Amino acid sequence: MEMLAKTEGNIRIISVLDKRIDAPAAVLFKETMRNLTQNAPREVVLDLSEVVFIDSSGLGAIVAIMKTLSPDHRLTLAGLTPAVEKVFRLTRMDTVFRIFMTIEEALDAEWS
């Protein structure tokens, strides 16, 4: 799974560069996310703007990462493509995660 992480101020941005987060990719996604969130600032933004498909395994992997972060950390999502946004909406996960249309909106948001 190809992912890129960078830190801007007190926010770690993790961009998923693969087009799919599905059953074959879910385990590697979780492992990579765990590595990229170690010693991360309190705020972690997951950039999904390149992801065009996510299945229940991918969704479960994102939820699992949220749960493995320490209680003082927050996982926020940004850049959901229409198909990915639909999965989050249909599963009501859009009520669990803070979601922004773009990385820029996420970076401009209030983080308190």
The CATH number assigned to the domain holding 63 equals: 3.30.750.24
Nearest Cα neighbor of 12 from 111, 87, 96 is 111
State the pTM of this model.
Answer: 0.94
Residue 111 falls within a domain, yes or no?
A: no
pLDDT surpasses 90 at 112: no
The domain total for the chain is: 1
Of the pLDDT bands very low, low, confident and very high (cuts 50, 70, 90), residue 67 is very high
> Structural domain of residue 27, as residue ranges?
3-106
Of the pLDDT bands very low, low, confident and very high (cuts 50, 70, 90), residue 45 is very high
Residue 29 falls within a domain, yes or no?
A: yes
Nearest Cα neighbor of 58 from 38, 30, 31 is 30
Residue 64 falls within a domain, yes or no?
A: yes
Residue 112 falls within a domain, yes or no?
A: no
DSSP sequence for 80-109:
--HHHHHHHHHTTGGGTSEEESSHHHHHHS
pLDDT surpasses 70 at 46: yes
pLDDT surpasses 80 at 7: yes
Residue 47 falls within a domain, yes or no?
A: yes
**Whole-number Å distance between alpha carbons of 110 and 103:** 13
Mean pLDDT over residues 11-35, rounded? 96
Residue 98 falls within a domain, yes or no?
A: yes
pLDDT at 77: 97
pLDDT surpasses 90 at 20: yes
pLDDT surpasses 60 at 64: yes
Nearest Cα neighbor of 65 from 108, 109, 21, 6 is 21
Token pair belonging to 82? 């229409």
pLDDT at 111: 62
> If 0-12 CB within 10 Å is exposed, 13-18 middle and 19+ buried, where does residue 39 land?
exposed
pLDDT at 43: 94
